[in-house]
Structure 1
Amino acid sequence: MDRVMRLASQRAVVVFSLSTCCMCHTVKRLFCELGVNPSVHEVDEDPRGKEMEMALAKLMGRSPPVPVVFIGGKLIGSTDKVMSLHLGGKLVPLLRDAGALWL
């Protein structure tokens, strides 16, 4: 859990992902289209990925836990939460406040 939280606080936007997950791809693509360059940690490509996946599952209360998004070091959640914020017009201000967007 410590490693996940440390990684989550190192950049304005952090996404924990699986390289083969379509919902992970959707979230990463949304951030890129908004002009955000998230730090992406592909859990399935990390030597300590199983450990990270267990920590994320505990944090999210479900399995599989990905994608898991942190903005400004704070847990936002998964695809449904990110999309809900975006459709509600709240994602871009959140990204600006975190320093991920300058416009």
Structure 2
Amino acid sequence: MEKISRLTSENGVVIFSKTTCCLSYAVNRLFHELRVNPVVHEIDQDPEGRELEKALLRMGCKSPAVPAVFIKGKLVGSTNEVMSLHLSGSLTPLLKPYQY
């Protein structure tokens, strides 16, 4: 979907999220603790949210489609993938260019 491509190409770190999702909240908190201010797109606040969610699933996100984390335009994955990268020490080097 064009909106996903545009957001992820124009911003270093993008998280597609839902305001009511506790896993989305946890991933957002992790990024802030790592001193990264991601662009967070709340798909449940977007009129095209259903289409965005379907597009994220088609791109390879597992169900549920959020949180969907993109770094440097590339889909990293959801909570499991992000936490695995963090625990292995591989997340911080990916985020280094985006830290404040």
Distance 2:35 2:91 in 1: 12
CA distance in 2, matches of 1:12, 1:49: 21
Unaligned regions of 5+ residues in structure 2, if any? none
Letter in 1 for 2:18: L
What SS does structure 1 have at the residue aligned with 2:41?
A: strand
Q: CA deviation at 1:21?
A: 0.4
Moved over 6 A (4+): none
**What residue number does 1:74 align with?**
74
Per the normalisation by structure 1, the TM-score is 0.91
1:16 & 1:66 partners in 2: Cα distance? 6
Q: TM-score, normalised by structure 2?
A: 0.93
1:18, 1:10 → 2: CA distance?
21
* 1:94 positional shift: 0.7
- Identity across matched positions, percent: 55
Matched pairs, number: 100
RMSD: 1.2
Instruction: Report what 1:86 is aligned to.
Output: 86
- In the TM superposition, what is the alpha-carbon distance from 1:80 to its structure 2 partner? 0.4
